[in-house]
Structure 1
Amino acid sequence: MKLIPSFGEISSKTKDAFKRFPVTISWAILGTLFTIYTVESGDFDDIFYGKIILTFILGISWFIAARFFEEQFKTSKEWFMVIPFVFMLAFYFHLPSDKTRFNNEFIIRFILYFISGHLMVFVAPFILKWNKSAYFNYLKSVFVAIVRSLFFSLILYLGIVLALLAVKHLFNVDIKGERFFQIFIICLGIVNTWIYLSDFPKDIHSQIAIDYTKALEVLVKYILIPLVILYLIILYAYSLKIVINWNLPKGWVSYLVIALSFLGFIIQILINPIQKTSDSRPIKRFHPWFYYLLLPLIGLLFVAIFKRVNEYGITENRYFVLVLALWILAMTLYMLFSKHKRIRVFPLSLAAIALVVSLGFWGAFSVSTKSQVSRFEKVYNDIKNTDFTTTYQKKDQLRSIINYLNKKEAIDKVAPVLGYKPSTAFNTKSSWQLQSKLMDTLAIKVTDKPADKYRNYHYSINEFNMLIDIKGYDLLKNIYLGNSGNKKEKTIDKYRFSLQEESNIIAIWKEDELIGNINCSELINKLKQQDKNYNIDSSLMTLEKEIASLKVKMLFKSISMPNPNKEDKNYMVNANTYILIKENAE
């Protein structure tokens, strides 16, 4: 298959592609035009338009997959194209309201549907009919189509951009920056999609002649399989270390086992049509030895996952890792014991899982919320039973749970434990204020100082709804004190403020004359006695002093200190502060 076809071939394939995929291409054109309009009108970042753009993006792969699936039937099933359209409508109306930001849940759900749609493209023509040779050729066509469409789109985009830049600089024509983004949208949305769809043969199942190139064999034999062996050596060496030291595995090992599994499955797909006939021993023996060697590592994967779940509960991330572990185990057992070993099961099952885990009480979002609420109840009751006196670590665990639930907009789920709804009790629209007020209301006292790994040497107040009393002062300015910034930025009228190096002394200059210093050491010592670093009471971050003929008030928004190995490093590195001054104070 040629990578770069002739112009006539492109023109012919373009017409055929529209006849074959009229709904998909029309959808891509509408989505592209709508996105261009939002860029032109300045509404690209608006939540309402963002919902529509996401729906258009999601629909392309699902309409392609639906068309491929429909082509498996002998008679036309045009009505089948309604299914992805209904799915797009359901997705759109399930998105948050126009005045709400996209939270992590909706972003993750979009990614899951996006992945699922693309996986369905990889398998849709072979759901009802199976031929491993035709499937291999189909996957090769998909890969070539992706490379070719991206290559053509990129070349076209760069060519047009260079032409516009030439016109702009040679003829002094004013070209808005938005035009370059709009051209990018056209190339990606219309050109890329159209060229991609023009590369698929009509009779997919009749393409059974295997053309297994030498380059592909070299890639598998000398690059991919050696990488698998390398990962296996590393993981088995780590497993031996665990047995010798009798330690539980680190959570990071989960990602390496998952990466190894995916690499092995990809190799299996690549060698599937030639494995039995190949003269290469690594290719011929890849199955079943890879799967036998993978089984113990899957056990290691489950141990690592359940260790983290037992310590910190289930989050979306741990849920997905656990589901992937179960899927890897299922695929491994399938490849070892199934008679058919049809590799379409890889993308098909993963696409189905991506859909299933996003919905219902069994889904990632519901399970993770319930797990963290249960964990909150346990930690909260432990602290409550000790009269709200506990270690810094346990308090930090509670704060972490509250922060997690707050980001998920599920903080009111802890109402049965607390006896009240935090959102109602604190009556604030700020999510940051909500979790801060909840922690402050609990008034938890700590019995120890935080270890360095829990310490944060940056202190800040809560600026939301903060009022600054300017009575008795003439001027107010927000100033950054530190090594960066110029003198003008640190000056109020003719007075300049500077933080002395490795000290808590703030020097005050009148023009070029030093008129006095403000020592912040007492303030720093009080801050270090606090068991929290944020939402500090503003009174603890305020200093007032009279110097010569100047009255000064400093309200620090934030103060940063070095993270010391020694206790004597109690000086400010930088500070962000409001400074109020009055001359000729009596």
Structure 2
Amino acid sequence: MKLIFNIKKTLNNTKTSFKRFPVGMIASFLSALFFILGVYSERMSGYNGNNTKNGFLFLIATFCFVFIDLFLEGLKGIVKNEEDLQKYKLIKIVLIILSVPILYGIKENMLGFEEALFSYDNSYKYFGLLLFFIIASFFIAKLFYHKDYIAYVIKIMGAGFVSLLYSGVLFLGLSAIFSALHHLIGLKITSNIYVYTSICIFIPFNIGIFLSNFPKGETSLANYEISKATRVLLNYILMPIFSIYLIILYIYFAKLIFIGELPKNILIHLILWFSLFSVVYLFVLDIIKDSKSVRDFRKIFPVLMIPVILVMFYSIILRIGDYGITENRYFVIAAGILSLASMIYYVFYRSNSNIAIPILLSVVILISTIGQVSAYNMSANSQNSRLKKILLKNNMLNGNKIVPKTDVSDNDKAKISEIVKYMCNSHRNYELNYVPSDFSCSDESMKEVFGFDHTDSYEEYDDMYYNYDAKVSIDINGYSKLLLIDSYPDSNISKTVGNYKIRRKSNFIEIYFNDDDKDKEIVTINMKDIKNKLKVLKKTKEIIDPDDLSIKGKSGNIEYKIVFTSLNFYEGEIDSEYYSCSFYLLTNIKN
């Protein structure tokens, strides 16, 4: 009964969302309406017109108006007299008026109709601004009073969890009803019904539930107490996990120093996500004030994280030095700056409210997505700079015009091809410097402008592949078992085929035989050696025989042969560890 009462109370509270955020809630309904019209138009005529774009416009308008209302709530809390009240009313009018040109600018510049929806930099601008409004709504009402800010954010996160839970359960329930009506009663329920339902639930309904539980800025949460379960999670579960992971990273750094090896590319991602989660964890952990272990952890952990983040910067700078800036690398740098600044903040401002963290995050989001130093613009500038250096090196630039040449090294051809492809795929063609306005990525256009086409640059980069065409038979004489094995990038998890276990580790593929629950190593394949062998074979042989790349051997009483059926080594943008392969494993066990 208590659960039903709480559900009814939550649903009734959605009425307060309309009273507190009237314009935002109306915008959410209009957003859902236009999305539904867009889906309907797409089904009826194959073209959704401007409906989908209007749906995205009113979606961002929802959070824009929520942001304004929350700011006015916080501002109203510091009104002390009639003069302050008049200033408050004036600011309210100004903000409402300013919201109109802001939304019009979003429609024209981010949802422009001359290009596909969210093409090129429009996606970064739109979703960056949308994310800014969402993140800023977490702190804007608390700008003028934020001593209880951590508790305030925890309440917001709780409201978000409740809204998603209610929306998810409602959608699953309605979907089950639709399915029953279709399969049991025979009513025609199209897939669009599910889409319409999800739009209604996850936009206006979900937002309404969320905003109904959104804490008010003027409400004091100074005496807020977290639950015992949350305290156990933060103090006794997450703290050891974060500590052990940090220790592992330091052990790995010691290994790198000992063997004199550079950090692997995957290290960037391992540190990046860990540092971002650490920022969030330390933010929430500050809610616990009465634990010595927490206080000691918050003193030591941020200090130890700073060198870790600096190693990540070193790794990504090496990548940028080789291949320039791309949007992904830019965002890694931006996230790293956020993490580093947050750790420094935690070191020197341990007793603060931590409101500076989401403020810094919102600023980073804006800078990264909008303006001249955004990820999109900086990536284009970096790749154009790389192109200019290569062209000057090969005497291919006369003023602002490219001089076609054929006697260019394969490596430089590959780099030019890589830059051109990146700019053509991720940017507008005219954003690539020095090429004519009608330039395209085709081989003909490349040949005309640069003197060579994309295929001329494959030797070092794209041509590192091999496929068995089945025109030559594979000798299986002397082997009793044949297994087909494949391995793809990021598939470091072991896989088992019969009694054989295949484990991928970086540039190595290890093969084991399981005998009486014990893994016996048969062979370790060094994929760097295979790549180098393939490179030599491509230069010396017109047709590569499967046996040219095969590996034979004996391990104990197991004779084995490995015959590759496909090899793909992806270079240029990716480390040499990024490869895929398939091969036959032939074995014979002698008693």
Same fold (TM over 0.5): yes
Distance 1:126 1:12 in 2: 26
Q: Decide which moves more: 41-50 or 220-229.
A: 41-50
- Does 1:260 find its partner at 2:274? yes
Within the candidate set 104, 107, 119, 1:89 is matched to 104
CA contact (8 A) 1:298 1:325 kept: yes
CA contact (8 A) 2:414 2:458 kept: no
- Does 1:437 find its partner at 2:445? yes
Distance 2:191 2:331 in 1: 40
Distance 1:240 1:111 in 2: 40
Name the amino acid aligned to 2:113. Answer: D
**CA 1:387 to 1:438, structure 2 compared with 1: closer, same or farther past 3 Å?**
closer
Which SS does the other structure have where 1:389 is aligned?
coil
Show CA shifts across 1:465-509 (max 9, x none).
xxxxxxxxxxxxxxxxx9xxxxxxxxxxxxxxxx97648xxxxxx
CA contact (8 A) 1:62 1:121 kept: no
**CA 1:374 to 1:439, structure 2 compared with 1: closer, same or farther past 3 Å?**
farther
CA contact (8 A) 2:150 2:353 kept: no
- Does 1:183 find its partner at 2:191? no
1:379 alignment counterpart: 390
Structure 1 residue 454 displacement after superposition: 5.0
CA contact (8 A) 2:275 2:309 kept: no
- Does 1:231 find its partner at 2:245? yes
Name the amino acid aligned to 1:395. Answer: K
- Does 1:122 find its partner at 2:133? no
Distance 1:436 1:156 in 2: 55
Distance 1:562 1:100 in 2: 48
Within the candidate set 400, 414, 427, 1:396 is matched to 414
**Paired positions, count:** 469
Name the amino acid aligned to 1:25. Answer: M
Distance 1:199 1:378 in 2: 56
Name the amino acid aligned to 2:107. Answer: Y
Q: Decide which moves more: 375-384 or 306-315.
A: 375-384
CA contact (8 A) 2:120 2:428 kept: no
Distance 1:19 1:384 in 2: 68
Structure 1 residue 148 displacement after superposition: 1.5
Q: State percent identity of aligned pairs.
A: 24
Gaps of 5+ in 1: 459-481, 483-498, 504-527, 531-559, 574-586
1:310 alignment counterpart: 321
Which SS does the other structure have where 2:139 is aligned?
helix
**CA 1:82 to 1:563, structure 2 compared with 1: closer, same or farther past 3 Å?**
farther
CA contact (8 A) 1:369 1:410 kept: no
Which SS does the other structure have where 2:145 is aligned?
coil
**CA 1:415 to 1:190, structure 2 compared with 1: closer, same or farther past 3 Å?**
closer
2:75 alignment counterpart: 73
**CA 1:561 to 1:306, structure 2 compared with 1: closer, same or farther past 3 Å?**
farther
Alignment of 1:98-247 (within 5 A): 98-101=113-116, 102-132=118-148, 135-202=149-216, 204-247=218-261
TM-score calculated relative to the size of structure 2: 0.70
Distance 1:214 1:334 in 2: 28
Which SS does the other structure have where 1:247 is aligned?
coil
Within the candidate set 370, 376, 384, 1:359 is matched to 370
1:33 alignment counterpart: 33
Structure 1 residue 85 displacement after superposition: 4.7
**CA 1:413 to 1:167, structure 2 compared with 1: closer, same or farther past 3 Å?**
closer
**CA 1:216 to 1:336, structure 2 compared with 1: closer, same or farther past 3 Å?**
same
Distance 1:265 1:255 in 2: 15
Structure 1 residue 28 displacement after superposition: 0.5
Q: Decide which moves more: 307-316 or 215-224.
A: 215-224
Structure 1 residue 67 displacement after superposition: 1.5
Distance 2:447 2:340 in 1: 42
CA contact (8 A) 2:324 2:382 kept: yes
Structure 1 residue 381 displacement after superposition: 3.0
- Please provide the CA RMSD for this pair: 3.8
CA contact (8 A) 1:116 1:351 kept: yes
Distance 2:32 2:548 in 1: 54
Name the amino acid aligned to 2:450. Answer: L
Distance 1:5 1:123 in 2: 31
Show CA shifts across 1:434-468 (max 9, x none).
x662156533499998358752458xxxxxxxxxx
Structure 1 residue 230 displacement after superposition: 2.4
Distance 2:3 2:151 in 1: 15
Distance 1:20 1:236 in 2: 50
**CA 1:216 to 1:436, structure 2 compared with 1: closer, same or farther past 3 Å?**
farther
Name the amino acid aligned to 2:257. Answer: V
- Does 1:450 find its partner at 2:450? no
Q: Decide which moves more: 54-63 or 119-128.
A: 54-63
Within the candidate set 30, 34, 59, 1:57 is matched to 59
Name the amino acid aligned to 1:176. Answer: T
2:304 alignment counterpart: 293
1:350 alignment counterpart: 361
**CA 1:443 to 1:293, structure 2 compared with 1: closer, same or farther past 3 Å?**
same
Which SS does the other structure have where 1:212 is aligned?
coil
Structure 1 residue 304 displacement after superposition: 1.1
Structure 1 residue 203 displacement after superposition: 5.6
TM-score calculated relative to the size of structure 1: 0.71
**CA 1:414 to 1:209, structure 2 compared with 1: closer, same or farther past 3 Å?**
closer
Q: Decide which moves more: 400-409 or 443-452.
A: 443-452
Within the candidate set 398, 408, 431, 2:426 is matched to 408
2:558 alignment counterpart: none
Distance 1:186 1:113 in 2: 23
Structure 1 residue 382 displacement after superposition: 2.9
**CA 1:154 to 1:371, structure 2 compared with 1: closer, same or farther past 3 Å?**
same
**CA 1:439 to 1:112, structure 2 compared with 1: closer, same or farther past 3 Å?**
farther
CA contact (8 A) 1:228 1:263 kept: no
Show CA shifts across 1:67-92 (max 9, x none).
21110122455433454554332222
Which SS does the other structure have where 2:121 is aligned?
helix
CA contact (8 A) 1:457 1:561 kept: no
Name the amino acid aligned to 1:56. Answer: F
Which SS does the other structure have where 1:32 is aligned?
helix
Q: Decide which moves more: 170-179 or 307-316.
A: 170-179
**CA 1:3 to 1:324, structure 2 compared with 1: closer, same or farther past 3 Å?**
farther
Structure 1 residue 21 displacement after superposition: 0.9
Name the amino acid aligned to 1:298. Answer: I
Structure 1 residue 117 displacement after superposition: 2.1
Distance 1:228 1:313 in 2: 32
Name the amino acid aligned to 1:342. Answer: S
Show CA shifts across 1:400-423 (max 9, x none).
10011112334434443xxx51x4
Structure 1 residue 354 displacement after superposition: 0.6
Distance 1:564 1:70 in 2: 74
2:16 alignment counterpart: 16
Gaps of 5+ in 2: 77-84, 397-403, 474-536, 552-562, 568-591
Which SS does the other structure have where 2:369 is aligned?
coil
